[in-house]
Structure 1
Amino acid sequence: MTKSSNIFLVGASRGVGREIAHYLIRQNLPVKALLRSETSRAELDAIGVQVVLGDAINASDVERAILTDEPIHTVISTLGGLPTDTERPDYLGNKNLIDAAVKAGVKKFILVTSIGTGNSVKALSPQALVALGPVLVEKEKAEQHLIASGLTYTIIRPGGLKSEPATGNGVLTEDTRIVGSIHRADVAQLVVQCLNSERTNNKILSAVDKNMLFTQTDFVEFSLD
Structure 2
Amino acid sequence: MSNTSYIFVAGASRGVGQEIAKFLTAQDIKVKALLRTEVAAKDLESLGIKPVLGDALKVDDVEKAILGDEPIQAVITTLGGLPTDGVKPDFIGNKNLIDAAVKAKVQRFILVTSIGCGDSVGALPPQALETLKPVLIEKEKAEQYLINSGLNYTIIRPGGLKSEPATGNGILTTNTQIVGSIHRADVAELVCRCLNSVNANNQVLSALDKNMIYPGLPEYVEFNLG
State which drifts further: 38-47 or 54-63: 38-47
State which drifts further: 158-167 or 31-40: 31-40
Quote the offset at 1:84 in angstroms.
Answer: 5.6
Q: How does 1:62-211 map to 2 (within 5 A)?
A: 62-83=62-83, 85-211=85-211
Runs of 4+ in 1 over 3 A off after TM superposition: 82-85
Q: Could you tell me whether the CA contact under 8 Å between 2:83 and 2:132 is conserved in 1? A: no
How many Å separate the matches in 2 of 1:221 and 1:210? Answer: 9
Q: Could you tell me whether the CA contact under 8 Å between 1:36 and 1:55 is conserved in 2? A: yes
Q: Could you tell me whether the CA contact under 8 Å between 1:66 and 1:101 is conserved in 2? A: yes
The amino acid across from 1:45 in the alignment is E
How many Å separate the matches in 2 of 1:207 and 1:51? Answer: 28
The amino acid across from 1:208 in the alignment is L
Deviation per residue, 1:181-223 (Å, 9 max, x gap): 0000000000000000010000000000000011243210000
1:25 and 2:31 are equivalent in the alignment: no
How many Å separate the matches in 2 of 1:89 and 1:103? Answer: 20
How many Å separate the matches in 2 of 1:223 and 1:43? Answer: 35
How many Å separate the matches in 2 of 1:149 and 1:49? Answer: 28
Deviation per residue, 1:11-41 (Å, 9 max, x gap): 0000000100110001110000000112322
Q: Could you tell me whether the CA contact under 8 Å between 1:117 and 1:140 is conserved in 2? A: yes
- CA-atom RMSD, angstroms? 1.0
Structure-2 residue corresponding to 1:221: 222
State which drifts further: 157-166 or 68-77: 68-77
**Identity percentage over the alignment?**
66
SS at match of 2:81: coil
**Structure-1-length-normalised TM-score:** 0.98
State which drifts further: 145-154 or 214-223: 214-223
Q: Could you tell me whether the CA contact under 8 Å between 1:179 and 1:215 is conserved in 2? A: no
Quote the offset at 1:69 in angstroms.
Answer: 2.3
Q: Which segments of 5 or more consecutive residues in structure 2 lack a partner in the other structure? A: none
How many Å separate the matches in 2 of 1:5 and 1:216? Answer: 45
**Structure-2-length-normalised TM-score:** 0.97
Q: How many residues align?
A: 225
How many Å separate the matches in 2 of 1:207 and 1:192? Answer: 13
Quote the offset at 1:68 in angstroms.
Answer: 1.5
Q: Which segments of 5 or more consecutive residues in structure 1 lack a partner in the other structure? A: none
1:58 and 2:38 are equivalent in the alignment: no
SS at match of 2:39: coil
The amino acid across from 1:223 in the alignment is N
Quote the offset at 1:66 in angstroms.
Answer: 0.6
Distance 1:112 1:62, change over 3 A: same
